[in-house]
Each structure stands twice: as C-alpha cells, then as structure tokens.
Structure 1
Amino acid sequence: MNKLFKVLFFLAFLWILSYGIAYIVVSDNTISSEDTIAVIPINGMITLNGGSTLLQSSTSANTIVEKINEASANENVKAIVFEINSPGGTVMGSKKLADAIDNIEKPTVAVITEYGTSGAYWAASQTDYIIADELSIVGSISVLGSYLDFSGLLNDYNITYQRLVTGDYKDLSSPYKELTDDERDLLMLRLDAIHDYFVDDVAEGRSMSREELDELSEGLFYIGLNSIDIGLIDGLGDKDTGIEKAKELSNVTNGEVTEYTEEESWFDSFMTYSAYSSFHIGQGIGSVIINPESNQDLQINL
C-alpha cells in the first residue's frame, strides 16, 4: 500500500510538473528571436476591470491594454491583430481600449468573428484595417439609456415613495418615480454628448466625415457582406486573412504568430456564454450608473 502511494504521488508530481512547463511555454509571449505577429483576443462584454458574476462575464480592458503594452514593447512583434468577438461593453472600458489601440505605433488589424458592435466596433475602428466574416454582426452605433420604472407597480400596491432630497436632481432616474419632462431632457443631453464623442472618434478612426457616419449611427447593425460598401470594414475573411494582412502591412514575409491569451476557467466560459445569451445585439457599449444614496439605476448603452 505504501509503495502504491509513492507511485501515485510520483505520477501526480510528474503530471503537475509537465503541466507547469507546458503552461510556461504556451503563456510566455515575449520570448521570440524572429519577426512575430501578435494576436490579442477581445471576447465578451468589455469593462474596465472584467470579472464574472452569476449574471454575466466580462473581459477586462485594463488586462487587454497590458497585453497591448507588452506587444508594443517587444521589438520582435511587427504587427498586432485583434481577434474580436464582442457585442460591446461599458463606456469607460470601451473608450480605454479604443484609445490604447489608437496609440499603437505598429500596424494593427481587427478581425471581427461573430460580433463587433458598439464598444467593440469602436475599438476595431482605431485599427489600420478591419476584416470581418461575410455574416459577422458589425456596427450598432448609437446610444440607449434605460432603467426599470416601478412607480406604476408601487401605485397598484398602494406603496408611496417618500421623496426627501436636498437637490432637485438627487433622485434623477429613480425607479420609484416617473421621469419629469425636465429630467428626461437632461438625460437626453448627456446621452447626446456620449453619442457625439463616440461617433466623432469612430469617424476619425475610419477616415470618414461626420456626415457619412451620421447615416450609420442610428443603432442598426450590419452584416459583413454589406459593411464594405458603407465603409465600416475594409475586407472579408477570417483570422488567417487578418494575420496575412498584418504581415503585408509590416513587411513580414514569414514570421511566427504569438497568441497573447489567458487561460479561461470553466466558470468564465460558462459566464461568457450566458452573457452572450442575455446581452442584446443592439445595446453595445453599456455603463451602469448606480447611486445607492438616491436609488438611481440608469443603464446607458451606445
């Protein structure tokens, strides 16, 4: 029995050791002595810090920016390909990612697989070249602000919302009361400001006029087949197409491909699937603004 235990322990040790060595080899993205094309995935909803909950999973813009900085600092990396499968995310997370991509001094290519809408499209628009599959979902450029209004339900159950505030707008967008016309106008002003910033940045990234992009910023999504003629993408293809384009832009004849990825747990995989199921195509960039003092719960989507 003791001998069997030693054998099992030794086998377990070998398995852990081999797994550790394999992980180091696979995850070490910086050791390369030849020209390299870096591939950085952008999957799921984009937030500043990422994370998984029982309701959704999101990818961290901060983590992706770290990978961008790592690839940018590596002299062997000649170009960066962003493999995108995302419906969007928060305003700040998407903006940070788009800004980081815009600041890259090496050639960049975006490859949209299933989704590349709203915040994810914002990020893609800052690359030098966008490729999408014929049936990829692209675009969805607009702003949506929403929250649940329970005021009617409270009235049905004879529940009264006692409003005690020191400022007229302290409980703006509270779910326990209806919006006044003045409050609605104020919220629309803020949504319009976000919309203008978003559209201006995309227009600049795509070398389009604001007037040209205004026609495409009504919230509609497009498929890859229709996106070339309207200027949202540059070509059709897949990841391999994007890698070849990156080699062309960086004058790399051969060179290896390095994946800047993180291992995903089964929980993260499950949460990512759940997020896709529950995140509406047209919502895209989302920012949840919660003020616990005033019970505000306003979700802003681009």
Structure 2
Amino acid sequence: MSDWESDKSADWGDKPVEPEKESKPFFGRKSPKLPPESGRDWKLIEKLVMSLQAEQRRSRRWGIFFKFLTFGYLIALLFMIKFPLGDSFEGVAGKHTALVEVNGPIASDELASADNIVGSLRTAFEEPNSVAVILRINSPGGSPVQAGYVYDEIKRLREEYPEKKVYAVISDIGASGAYYIAAAADEIYANRASLVGSIGVVAGGFGFTGVMEKIGVDRRLYTAGDNKAFLDPFSPEEEEEVMFWQSVLENTHQQFIEAVKQGRGDRLADDERLFSGLVWSGEQAVELGLADGLGSASHVARQIIGQEELVDYSRRKSPFQDIVDQLGVAFGEGFASQLVESRLELR
C-alpha cells in the first residue's frame, strides 16, 4: 500500500467533496446580510416613503375634487346668468286670481326687491284672465325706498286697471316697510295672530371711541367738506349731526304716515299710537283700521273675490342659484354686507 492510499480515511469515497461557495457580488440577486441596526433604518425609510406616497395620493384626490367643484360652480353661474329668475306660473288658462308674494326682507339685493315685486305685479295685471291680485305678505320690512317704489307702482296699476282690485293678505308678519306696501291695496286681511303695523323708521350703528382710547388707537380722518365724516362711528358724536339725522328720520317717517293715511283713509281709528312704531295683532289691527278683516289668501280668493283658483306670479330663484346659496356663497355675501353697510330701514 502506498503512502497516498494510507492517507485516505475509511469513508473517503462515501461523500462527494463540496466545492467552495463563491461570494456573490453586492448587486446580485441576493443582498449581503446587514446588521440589525441597518435593517431597522431601511424599515424606517420604507415607512417614510409609503407615507409620502399616501400623502401625494390624498393631495391628488383633493385636487380633483376642487377642480370638479370649481367646474360645477362655473356651470351654475352660467345658468344663473342665462336664467336669473323664473316666474313660477306656466301657461295660464282660464279665469283666476293672481298671487304675488312679498316674502322676507325688502331690499334691492333680496328676493323681495322692488324690481321683482313690481315685475310680478305688472305681469299679473296685464294678464287678461286674472280677475284680481292678491299680495301675500310675510315680511318684517326693510328699505323705505324699495317699499315706496312698490307702493307707487300699485297705485299706478290700480288706476290703469280699475276693474282689478288688489288685496293684501298678511300671514305671519306685515310690519314697517311691508305694511307700507300693504297700505296701497284696496283691502288688507290678516290672521288674528299676525303682527301688523310698526309704522316707524329706525337707523342704528355703533360708537367705538371709548374702546379706541383704551387700546391707544388714534383716529386719522381726512375730508373735504364739513360734513363728509357725518356720524363717523370712530369719532365722538356731535349734537348737531344727531339733530340733523333725526330730522331725516322724522321726514321719512312722515312720508310713511302720509302713505298709510292716503291708502287707508277714514278707515283708520283716531288713535295717536297708530304711528308710534308699535306692532299689533291681526285682531287689534282690524279694530284700529289697519286691516279690513281676518282671512288667508285662499279665503280672500274664494269668499271675497269669488275666484278660488290661484295662479302664482311671484318671481323665484332658479334651482342653480339655490345650489350656489347652499354652498355658502349667499351666506358669505350677507355676512360681509352686514359688516360694512348701515341702512335706513322701516321697522
């Protein structure tokens, strides 16, 4: 036996000799084994990347949402421009009683503006099949200018169409500027619990001079004209200015009183409180001559006019304008206008 053969073990030929494992390069199919600290770092990076991707997806979704919202808003605006207001009646057929609503505050930027009410009244009077016109009123009042415009137009239409009578019917409230309008009608009706009257004028504001002194704010106002800063809320109140403004209110109040006297005539009771700004129930209004009787619009159409069928000639907001209002546009406009405007009102 040779030395080479004697060096072999007993089980030398039983197992094949395994070749040495070659190390694979770093960029191969399998990454080198990393220490535990490195593994935690990679997991943290992976979570960070995933959260960034999720945030990007959310941002894209919100971007798409606001694009659709803007697009829908623009479409609604286009429809409002094309169809700003719609008359609520369609294809009038047969004899009927025309109905025009005065609902809400009376102001140029409200649905109960003089332009809207007068437009509806003209259409109702011009319709050959309308036998009479009912003004259904539910309003606390508003602008004396708007109310006076409607009052004058009702008087004119009554003269132009003497065969058609106008009946004002007050539901919940017909006060101040709303009663100014009602006074132009041939007759006024109300519910026994309606609020009627409030024949007066009010104007209000705020004074901030005390607050400004406490916080150390100086008022710097530059004008050309002695009274250009008339009743400035940031300046001390001047007695002469207050007296002048009171004369304006008294003059407007007198216009209101004359309109009511002209409209109601000798039906008014001899009671000095009538023009004090007080408000009365419907029953009291009948006793004082501010109203002619108790009844609803349907009662007046059926029992007084004798033509029960009512056709509504009132102008209303378009459906698209309602959608925009629900989105909060109208709320924003109303809130801003209340902050910056101070209007003379009949109430």
User: For the structure 1 residues 215 and 91, does the alpha-carbon distance in structure 2 shift closer, same or farther, using more than 3 Å as the test?
Assistant: same
1:116 aligns with 2:174: yes
- TM-score normalised by length of structure 1: 0.73
In structure 2, stretches of 5+ residues that fail to align are 1-86, 159-163
- Equivalent residue of 1:225, what SS? helix
Cα drift, residue 242 of structure 1 = 2.0
Distance of 1:212 and 1:125 partners within structure 2: 17
Match of 2:311 among 258, 264, 270: 258
Given that 2:117 and 2:314 are in contact with CA atoms closer than 8 Å, whether structure 1 keeps it comes out as no
Matched letter for residue 106 of structure 2: I
Q: Which residue of 1 aligns with 2:194?
A: 136
Given that 1:199 and 1:213 are in contact with CA atoms closer than 8 Å, whether structure 2 keeps it comes out as no
- Equivalent residue of 1:166, what SS? coil
- Equivalent residue of 2:343, what SS? strand
Kindly name which structure, 1 or 2, has the bigger radius of gyration based on alpha carbons. 2
Given that 1:49 and 1:61 are in contact with CA atoms closer than 8 Å, whether structure 2 keeps it comes out as no
Q: Which residue of 1 aligns with 2:345?
A: 301
Distance of 1:62 and 1:241 partners within structure 2: 28
Given that 1:112 and 1:133 are in contact with CA atoms closer than 8 Å, whether structure 2 keeps it comes out as yes
Output one character per residue of 1:91-115: Cα deviation in whole Å (capped at 9) or x when no partner: 2111111112222222010110001
| Number of aligned residue pairs | 243
Distance of 1:195 and 1:270 partners within structure 2: 39
Cα drift, residue 254 of structure 1 = 4.5
Given that 1:49 and 1:63 are in contact with CA atoms closer than 8 Å, whether structure 2 keeps it comes out as no
Output one character per residue of 1:128-177: Cα deviation in whole Å (capped at 9) or x when no partner: 11110010010011111211111111111111112322222100111101
Q: Of the two structures, which has the highest relative contact order with CA contacts closer than 8 Å and spacing of 6 or more? A: 1
Distance of 2:325 and 2:150 partners within structure 1: 21
Matches within 5 A, 1:147-296: 147-208=205-266, 212=270, 214-247=272-305, 253-254=306-307, 256-264=309-317, 265=322
Given that 1:108 and 1:128 are in contact with CA atoms closer than 8 Å, whether structure 2 keeps it comes out as yes
- The structure that is helix-richer by fraction is 2
Q: Mean alpha-carbon deviation: is it higher for 256-265 or for 125-134? A: 256-265
User: For the structure 1 residues 186 and 69, does the alpha-carbon distance in structure 2 shift closer, same or farther, using more than 3 Å as the test?
Assistant: same
1:75 aligns with 2:128: yes
Given that 1:199 and 1:214 are in contact with CA atoms closer than 8 Å, whether structure 2 keeps it comes out as no
Output one character per residue of 1:28-62: Cα deviation in whole Å (capped at 9) or x when no partner: 44532x22210111100011342xxxxxxx52220
Q: Which residue of 2 aligns with 1:145?
A: 203
- Equivalent residue of 1:193, what SS? helix
User: For the structure 1 residues 195 and 153, does the alpha-carbon distance in structure 2 shift closer, same or farther, using more than 3 Å as the test?
Assistant: same
Please report the RMSD computed on the Cα atoms of aligned residues, expressed in angstroms. Answer: 2.7
Output one character per residue of 1:44-96: Cα deviation in whole Å (capped at 9) or x when no partner: 0011342xxxxxxx522201111111111111111000110000111211111
Q: Which residue of 2 aligns with 1:59?
A: 112
- Equivalent residue of 1:108, what SS? strand
- Equivalent residue of 1:144, what SS? coil
Cα drift, residue 246 of structure 1 = 4.8
Q: Which residue of 2 aligns with 1:4?
A: none
Q: Which residue of 1 aligns with 2:105?
A: 45
Q: Which residue of 2 aligns with 1:100?
A: 153
Given that 1:39 and 1:83 are in contact with CA atoms closer than 8 Å, whether structure 2 keeps it comes out as yes
Cα drift, residue 245 of structure 1 = 4.9
User: For the structure 1 residues 210 and 82, does the alpha-carbon distance in structure 2 shift closer, same or farther, using more than 3 Å as the test?
Assistant: closer
- TM-score normalised by length of structure 2: 0.64
Matches within 5 A, 1:10-29: 27-29=88-90
Matched letter for residue 107 of structure 2: T
User: For the structure 1 residues 236 and 255, does the alpha-carbon distance in structure 2 shift closer, same or farther, using more than 3 Å as the test?
Assistant: closer
- Equivalent residue of 1:38, what SS? strand
Distance of 1:233 and 1:143 partners within structure 2: 21
Distance of 1:137 and 1:165 partners within structure 2: 44
